[in-house]
Structures are given as structure tokens and as C-alpha cells.
Amino acid sequence: MLADLEGLLLRLEEDPGDLELLNTIFRCAHSIKGGSATFGFTDIAHFTHGLETLLDKVRNGEIKIDRSLSQVLFESLDQMKALLSVARGESASAPDSSALSARIEAAILGQPAIVAAQPTLPKQKAAEEEGWGVWSLAHTYRLYFAPGPDILRQGGDPLLLLGQLGKVSDILSIVCDDSRLPALADMDPEACYLSWEVELRSDKTSEEILEIFEFVADDSEIRLEVTSETRSPAAAAPAAPMEAAPPAAEPVAEVPAAEPTPAMAPPAALPVEAAAKAAPPAEAQTLRVATDKVDKLINLVGELVINQSMLNEVVQDFSMAKLPRLIEAVAEMERASRELQERVMAVRMLPIKHAFGRFPRLVRDLAATVGKKIELKTSGEDTELDKGMIESIADPLTHLVRNSIDHGLETPEERRAAGKPEQGTVSLHALHEGGSIAVEVSDDGRGLSRERILKKAIERGWVTENDTPSDETLYNFIFMPGFSTAPAVTDLSGRGVGMDIVKQGVQALGGSITLTSTPGVGTTFRIRLPLTMAILEGLSLTVGNETYILPLTSIVESIQPAAGDVRKIAGRTEIALVRGEVLPVVRLYQVFGSSPKVTDPTQGLLVIVENDNHKVALLVDELIGQSQVVIKSLETNYRKVRGIAGATIMGDGRVALILDVPGLVRDTLSESAALAAAA
């Protein structure tokens, strides 16, 4: 709901006169306040009360939305997120909200100085100056609460509501009425037949008391009447500058869920004892899954059970006459297993909009920081990616967006001078490409400066003044550690750290990153990622007696070279001539120290693999075939091995190692460069 509210506030900033949007935002804030109060998050409910009052005045036309008020709303959203983080046990404490509450109060009172509102006089001090001392007006109430019969079926809990009542009042007495209980034979165990009459004392208003029951009010009978009024000492706690009462000190001890029993012994009172705040257990990782995906999984499991029964029947009384039936059952089992695998993988797939969702707010805030006008465009938000990869790709995308805002886009004055609209554009686009996902981050800014990058590369010794590297080669230098052409360091970027981390992060996910840029037009970063890191489409091959798996996404082609296609340069570096390209040759049996069956490339095969636009030729004995394998971490279970990305178990029970193509290419190029330098 907080994420929804952020999106609504961003839309409101673009169209502050949209009354329906204002009503939606108000209802969202109201639901947050009511839900927080119901579940005991009194700090959130208390803070949101003032925000709700402000939004009510905005939607009624009493207050106009401007930039400063919009900023107050966004800061209020951040404060609610911080309070929720504390409630979840993710943070020890939230930032002090008193200054922000004062700004909200100032806005409610129509004061223009919202950004720096004058501090308001604390209520307690004001009361003392008026001769009230530290006394507050307390009411004695009589409450009748008769829940609807379906409250339990709808997820409601009458005892929880009564427990919430005990947090904001002193319960003087409570009587349970079981007169509506039917005979045992007619009783519905899921229905509620009880009602309660409660006498309580509180300094809350009737409206605030009834807010506790607002989510069940439509289906319940609730009556509240004031029986007396007295003045009682107020709690010696700092008062907020709003009209809402301060939050209760501590939540009441947990009230167990109501059991649908024939009768309930009426408790004498509900104690309002402060429960010690123990550290909550670590929150379990959860995943929201669409119902239709779960239904398909259940159906497939049912098919597997049927196939298992068929196999058991054939095996128990097997004869050659039943062989066709056995083959058919195995084929059906294989089909169901593969489909089950695909469906299980689909359960972990989430739309990439979960990663894109953070950027509208980020772009808004950064645009204000750097003084630029920026529009964010997103497309392909429904493209699905593994949940773990969505979480991991968020940080690299954030850095690319920040880089586009700080370095890519010009200031409004520079854009006008270049004949461009003052407002620049940052775009996020996702799409499926075969068995992978492509994510693009682009801008319509100034583009990369070839001259500045070349100058920096010459200074670093990566190229000489006589070299004429291609744009592709030159632009890839920005992914080198410490590389930056920024004339000055800013709060956003320019220190030469980050782009190399982006590349490492993408490669750790089994992906790659490239970029294209046109001066004066803009820059595009393109990330390619596998759909999931758990299942790999690979090519099985042998080197000596060992079996290896090569990821299909890295393979360009496989060839059997002619006698003159493989040679050594200067007697040291072995290369292969493949379609006019000169490629380094990697003898895998030398890398892994195994005994080969083939040492002559003309008797074996060269598999051409590519990473980051660099190709190498791997010498192998033979190719077995394509298969899907489940990746297991070798580093977790053993240790990191050069050239190996993981391991898998083959159908015959043998372990096969999965080749680390990026690592092999990187090491080969480094060795080739070292040999060339030594020569």
C-alpha cells in the first residue's frame, strides 16, 4: 500500500487538480491509518492521522498543492516507511518525526512556511500557561459490541479488537453475553454468537474509539455512549503538535485468536500491561504467487502420481509384452517432469516492474538535486525474471540511472542551446530475447566523448597515441576500475568507482553488459541476463575422461579446423583462423590438468565461445548433446576453481563441471596480452 501511495503522489505532482486522484490518495492514507491501529502499529497510525487531516483539506479545496507541500507528502511517506521498518524489526529506530509533524500541522493551519514551519507551542506547556496544569479530559464510556456472525470467516478477531481497545483506554469492566448461542446440534463452529458490553475510561473522543472497529462496523452492531466526564492527570510524555492523542506506550500482550467454542467465560478485565519488546525473529523470505500458477502445479503433481501408479503396475508384473506401455509411461513421466520444472520455475518469476518501481521517485529526487528537468519512461514492465535476479539487478540499474542523470543529460540551458527540449528523458526498457532477458537504460543526452575517453585511456597506458581503437573498444574502457572522465566529483558520481562494479554484478548473474553512444544523441546501456540462474541450457562435451557443460548462450559455433587453420605465433601463442578472425586457442586439458584423448585440433573440435564481444576457441574431444542441467555451487560445497562456474549431476549419476566462459575468456586474453608484452 505504501508503494501504491508513492506512485499516486508522483501522479499528483504532475496533475495536482485531479480530484479523483486526491480522493484515492486520501482513502489510501485512511486505510493505512486504520490498518495500523488495528494491528497495533500505533506510531504509524498516530503519524498518519495528521497526514490524513492534511489530505482531507487538500481534497476539499481548502489547501492547494504546490512544490513545497508535495515535498512534505513525500517526506511523510518516507517517515511511514521508516516506522514500518522499525515495526518489522529491520531497523532499531525511525527518524524523529516531530519537525515533520510540525510542518504538517502548519500546512493544516494554512501557514505558507511549510518548508520551515515555525515550531508550535507544546500542548502541555500551553495547557499549563492557561491554568489547566497537566490535566486532560477523560470520558467514561459504555460500549456494546456484537460482531456479525461471519466475522471469523472474514478474517476478523473480536478479541484482537477488544485488545486494541485496551491499549487506548482503561477497561473498568467487561461482560460477555452468550445468550445468542444456539443448541449444540444447530451450532456452526465458524460462526460468532457472542457479544460484549464494556465500560472504559479514556481521553480519546468517541470517533477515535470507534475507529478501532471501522473495518467490522458494517457487519456488526456497535453502540457507544458517554456516561461521565472527569479531569485526570495526563501522561508525562511529549505531546505532538497535532490534535491526535499520543500513542500508547507499549502494545498489549498478544491476545490469542478467538476459538469458535460453544461458550466463553467472561473475563473480568483486559489488562493493559506493557509487554517487553523482544527482538522479533528474522522474517521469512516470502513470495506472492498467482493462484493459477499454484493450480497448474497441483494438476501436474496429480499427473505424476498417476504416472507413478502406471509404472508400479508395469514393474510389478513385467513382461516384454508390456515394454511399449513402459516406454509410453516413461515418456509421459518425462513430459510431466519437464513441465513441472517449467511451472516451478515460473512460480519464482516476477514482473521486472518490481525492480523498475523504485525509479520514478529516485529520478524525481535526483532531478531536483542536480537542477535538471527529467522525464522517466518505462516499457516492458511485465517482462518476467527470477525473483532473486530482480533483487540483484536493482543496484546495477540504480547506478546506471544515476550515471545517466548526472553525466548523460545536459542542463536545461545546454539543451536549449543544442536545440533540444529542456526536459531530458531517461528510459528503462525490458524485453525477452530467446532464452534471456534484455534490459536497456538509455538517455537522450550528450553522449560519450570519444576524445576524452581516448585521452584518459592513453594516460592509463591502455592504448598508445598511434592506436585508433574502435568506438566499441574505446567505450568499454569506462567499465575499467577507477576510470572516469567527469571533470568534477559530485554527490552522484564521478569518483571512478561504480561502472566496474556494475559490470561485475551483471557478470555474477551470468549476464553481460554493452553500451552504444552517439554524440549529441544519447547513450544506451544494454544488459543481457539469463531467465534464471537455477536451470541452465547447456552443451555436454568431453575432454579426456571428463564431461563438461558449456552454457548455450556463450556458444557461437563449433568447427573441425583444417591443418593450416591452427598455428603458433612467435612459437608461443596458439591461434586459430576462423572465418577471417584470429582467435586464441584454449586447450582445456591443459587448463584442468587432465589426460586428453585428442591433442591435434584437426582430430578434435574447436568450440567458439564469446563473452563481452571477445571470442576464444576451446579445444575439446567430442560433443555429446544439448541438455538442461540444475546448477549447484562448487564454491559453496568445495572451493572456487579456476575456469569452473559450478557443477551438476547428469542423468547417469556422474558429476559434470560447468565451464566459466567469462573467466576463461578473461584469463586467456590476459595471458595473450602478457605474452605479447614480453615479446
Residues 397 and 510 in one domain: yes
Single residue among 233, 248, 266 that ends a domain in this structure: 233
Same domain, 437 and 576: no
With respect to residue 455, please indicate whether it lies within any of the assigned structural domains. yes
Q: Which domain holds residue 14?
A: 2-120
Statement to judge: residues 355 and 448 lie in one domain: yes
Same domain, 159 and 99: no
Do 301 and 364 belong together in one domain? Answer: no
Give me the amino acid identity at 478. Answer: I
Q: Give me the helix-helix angle, 67-87 and 42-59, nearest 10°.
A: 160
The CATH number of the domain where 161 resides is what? 3.30.70.260
Helix %, strand %, coil % for the chain, to 5? 40, 25, 35
Q: How confident is the model at residue 679 (pLDDT cuts 50, 70, 90)?
A: low
Residue 419, phi then psi, degrees to nearest 5: 80, 25
> What is residue 271's predicted lDDT score, i.e. its pLDDT?
39
pLDDT digits (tens, 9 = 90+) for 534-545: 677 889 999 988
- Indicate whether 272 belongs to any domain: no
369 and 485 assigned to the same domain? yes
**Strand-pair category, 512-518 with 436-443:** unpaired
User: Do 26 and 48 contact (CB within 8 A), yes or no?
Assistant: no
Residue 269 domain flag: no
β partners of residue 540: 549, 625
- Look at the block and give the residue holding cell 516413461: 330
- 105 and 133 in a single domain? The answer is no
* Residue 199 sits in the same domain as residue 321: no
Shared-domain flag, residues 549 and 503: no
Residue 1 pLDDT class (50, 70, 90 cuts): confident
With cell 563438461, the residue in question is: 548
* Percent of the chain surpassing pLDDT 70: 81
Question: Which pTM was predicted?
Answer: 0.54
Mark whether 366 and 428 lie in a shared domain. Answer: yes
Grid cell for residue 677? 608484452
End-of-domain residue from the set 208, 233, 258: 233
Dump pLDDT digits (tens) for 293-345: 777 777 777 777 676 766 776 667 777 777 787 788 778 877 777 777 777 77
Plot region of 133 (φ>0 → left; ψ -120 to 50 → alpha; else → beta): left
Residues 392 and 511: beta-carbon distance below 8 Å = no
Pick the range with the lowest mean pLDDT from 269-278, 454-463, 505-514, 627-636. Answer: 269-278
Do 380 and 339 sit in the same domain of this protein? Answer: no
Whether 98 has a pLDDT exceeding 90, the answer reads no
Strands 373-379 and 423-433: parallel
Q: Is residue 656 part of a domain?
A: yes
Out of 120, 155, 174, a domain closes at: 120
Cα 400 to Cα 47, 155, 308, 339, 427: the distances in Å are: 35, 44, 51, 37, 11
Same-domain status, 526 and 400: yes
* Span 86-115, average pLDDT: 74
Structurally, how many domains does the chain consist of?
A: 5
Q: In this predicted structure, what is the pLDDT of residue 5?
A: 81
| Closest residue by Cα to residue 556 from 609, 635, 632 | 609
Q: Give dist(CA 419, CA 78) in Å, integer.
A: 38
